[in-house]
Amino acid sequence: SDMRVHFGLGAAAEIERVELRWPSGTKDIVRKPPVDHILVIKEGKGLVESRPFQKVTELAEQHKETK
């Protein structure tokens, strides 16, 4: 199953921090992560990968260009 969590920021333009509390009881904090990105956060290691999130409309345009 998909382990991703997707959430919006409303009118906010940036994120102060993302705080994760894992089932084991440990906590990871990622400060000032980029917006409009897919973040990969691993328990005990914090942010290990960040890549831009492609909106559905952008993906559709790319698909049209390859035809």
The secondary structure of 1-58 as a DSSP string is: ---------TT-SS-SEEEEE-TTS-EEEEESPPSSEEEEEETTTEEEEEEEPPPHHH
Q: What's the pLDDT at 59? A: 63
Which residue in the block uniquely carries the two structure tokens 């005990």? 44
Whether residue 15 has pLDDT greater than 90? yes
pTM: 0.71
In the predicted model, is pLDDT for residue 56 greater than 80? no
Four-residue CA torsion sign, 27, 32, 40, 9? positive
Residue 4 pLDDT: 84
